Amino acid sequence: MEEKLHLLRQHFEEIVSLTDDEWNIVKSHFEFKSLKKHQFLIQVGQPVAFEYWIIKGLVKAYSIDEKGKEHILQFAMEDYWVSDHCAFQHQEPGTIFVDCLEDSEFFCLSLENREKICFEVPAVANFFRIKSNHGYINLQQRILSLLTMTAESRYEYLLNKLPKLIQRVPKKLIASYLGVSRETLSRFSS
């Protein structure tokens, strides 16, 4: 476990510096969790007690529409954060599903604990501020890609941006992430 916590510390220290004392405060506010492939991290209607940092593994966050079709909001793997941020932030029942595409391990942070360490250790507030800002920028780019690009060029773009991901994830899920039917994706060239 010490090794895993060390990875988390590295993750923080990519953005901000922490003293050993600060780190000891921070790390004591996380819980460990491990799930097998196909198990759920978050479900619609259930409480969303945590934000999760992924130690290892791969998950998908998605919603299901009236017709039962799955729409993927995010893939998240090692070193990513994932949650139903909306439900988590407002402490409301989940609005999306998150489940494991591979056996996965997480460090879990409750809202209470997050606010606690953000106010006790200012560097942590800055860490999450900067992380959240990066996330915002990413989502803006995804929105632009949905507005400006054809399904095929979104696919090419993703192939370039996250080639490793494509290999770990069935194409029908990639299709669902891109907002295109799996049949159409299958007709694309590369």
The token pair at 37 is 């492939």
The correct pick among 93, 179, 182, 186 for binding a second copy (CB under 8 A) is 179
Q: Which of DNA, a second copy, none is residue 140 near (CB under 5 to 8 Å by kind)?
A: a second copy
Per-position x/- string for 136-155, each x denoting binding to DNA as judged by CB under 7 A, each - no binding: --------------xxx---
Report whether 51 contacts 88 (CB < 8 A): yes
Residue 118 interacting with a second copy (CB under 8 A): yes
Residue 137 interacting with a second copy (CB under 8 A): yes
Residue 160 interacting with a second copy (CB under 8 A): no
Cα 149 to the center of its chain, rounded Å: 24
The correct pick among 19, 24, 46, 132 for binding a second copy (CB under 8 A) is 132
- Burial grade of 160 (CB within 10 A; 0-12, 13-18, 19 or more): exposed
Task: Select from 58, 49, 96 the least CA-distant residue to 76.
Answer: 58
Residue 184 interacting with DNA (CB under 7 A): yes
Closer residue to DNA (CB): 96 or 180? 180
Determine the longest span between alpha carbons in the chain, in angstroms.
Answer: 55
The correct pick among 57, 162, 179, 189 for binding DNA (CB under 7 A) is 179
E strands present in 49-157: 50-56, 58-64, 70-77, 81-82, 97-100, 104-110
Instruction: List residues bridging with 51 in a β-sheet.
Output: 109
Window 152-171: residues binding DNA (CB under 7 A): 152, 170-171
The correct pick among 13, 31, 34, 139 for binding a second copy (CB under 8 A) is 139
The correct pick among 79, 135, 165, 166 for binding a second copy (CB under 8 A) is 135
Helix (H) or strand (E) holding 10: helix 2-13
The residues of the shown chain that bind DNA, judged by CB under 7 A, are 67, 69, 150-152, 170-173, 179-187
